[in-house]
Structure 1
Amino acid sequence: MQRDFYLHENLPFVVHVVANRMHQLMSIVFDRSFNLKVAEWHLMATLHEAGPITQAEISRLQRTDKVAISRMVIALQKRGLLVRTLGGRDNRHQLVALTAPGETMVYDALDKLSLLEELLFKDFDEGEMSTLRKGLQKLRLATDNAQVQAVGMPPSSLTLQRRSGREGLTLSELLRLESGQSVPSE
């Protein structure tokens, strides 16, 4: 017996469509307001949260290939939004950090994102928002687990937090966990 199938009721498809629409909205906001691509914003937001880190660490955190990260760093550095300096224990690693204009842009972008969030979720009450956040967190964990099982990709920061039994870890703590190091308990 053939089962009825409606694409618009298939949750992976619906999530994909909504994610694409969100990406398009963010692209418009970042392009018009800051002449940034969403991926460039993501890189800047990662640096804002993590502080100075290497391009390899950015690549791991964002699950983006190192070449793409390198190109974005170069482009953002030319615009004066990022700076690369020597760092690490032996000064052999280049650390990437936001400049003062880069930090200012991040805060301005966060304001724009807050306005977008208000617009998109104005009809959601607190309970619905809480349920949505929890559901998306579960979905993210499920997709992480599916990726690990399907193609052997490393777990995301959310999965690492869940495995560690702690939430709200900083990006530097997540990087230590990801590399197999321990993170001191609170």
Structure 2
Amino acid sequence: MNSSLSLSRFLPYRLSITSNAISQRIAVEYRAQFDLKVPEWRVMAVLGDVGPLTQRQLVGATFMDKVAVNRACKVLVENNHVRRHPNTLDGRSHLLELTPEGRAIHAQVMPLALKMEQEIMNCLTAKEQREFSRTLDKLFAQVRDIDPED
């Protein structure tokens, strides 16, 4: 990589700041209504999408670090949005799942998030949106498949 390359053109930086800006913009909506921070909503969104998971599985599903997931889960449990119960497949871990209150919040936030996503994506044509989605899928698959031992 050319060391004189501007950070503003460096793909990881551009993806990160764009992702953070979009997440923060959407977060304004659910923070005001439900007092949720981005990590808390990410945990709730994943649990709402796939069902009960362990904290370790949540780390993998959210790509957040263990500490952030742990903090988010702690707050969500304290606020009765998520409950813990023993993992019958592994006595050392617990499964986390949305409570009825958490499911109700999820059901209200998802339409807000999807509406905001559409507002953001409106700057792209339908074809560009499909191409962008395919491109992100390809980049994610490439990163996931790169062996860090190489």
1:10 and 1:54 map into 2 onto residues whose CA distance is 34
Q: Structure 1: which amino acid aligns with 2:116?
A: L
CA shift, 1:58, in A, is 1.6
RMSD after superposition: 2.6
2:95 and 2:13 map into 1 onto residues whose CA distance is 39
Q: By how many angstroms is 1:143 displaced?
A: 2.9
CA contact under 8 A between 1:30 and 1:38: conserved in structure 2? no
Q: What letter matches 2:35 in structure 1?
A: N
Aligned length: 148
Match of 1:55 in 2: 55
**What's the CA shift string for 1:83-122, capped at 9, x where partnerless?**
1112324765422110111011111111111110121122
Q: Judging changes above 3 Å, is the alpha-carbon distance between structure 1 residues 127 and 100 closer, same or farther for their aligned structure 2 residues?
A: same
Structure 1 residue runs without a partner (length 5+): 153-186
TM-score (norm 2): 0.81
Q: Aligned partners of 2:39 and 2:74: how far apart in 1?
A: 13
Q: Equivalent residue of 2:71, what SS?
A: helix
Return closer, same or farther for 1:128/1:96 CA change in 2, 3 Å cut-off.
same
2:59 and 2:65 in contact (8 A); partners too: yes
Q: Match of 1:53, SS?
A: coil
**Which string of whole-angstrom CA distances, capped at 9 and with x for unpartnered residues, describes residues 47-103 of structure 1?**
112212222222232233434323222211111111111232476542211011101
Aligned residue for 2:38?
A: 38
Change in CA separation of 1:125 and 1:73 when aligned onto 2, cut-off 3 Å: same
Structure 2, unaligned stretches of length 5 or more? none
Map of 1:106 onto structure 2: 106
Partner of 1:78: 78
Q: Show the counterpart of 1:137.
A: 137
Q: Which of structures 1 and 2 has the larger relative contact order (alpha carbons within 8 angstroms, sep 6+)?
A: 2
TM-score by length of 1: 0.67
Q: Which amino acid aligns with 2:54?
A: T
- 1:15 counterpart SS class: helix
Give the Cα separation in 1 of the matches to 2:12 and 2:90.
Answer: 46
Residues 23-60 of structure 1: CA distance to partner in whole angstroms, max 9, x if unpaired?
A: 32133223212211111111111111221222222223
Q: Which residue of structure 2 aligns with residue 174 of structure 1?
A: none
More displaced 10-residue stretch of structure 1: 58-67 or 92-101? 58-67
**Aligned CA distance change for structure 1 residues 3 and 67 (closer, same or farther; 3 Å):** closer
Larger Rg: 1
Choose 69-78 or 13-22, whichever is displaced more: 13-22
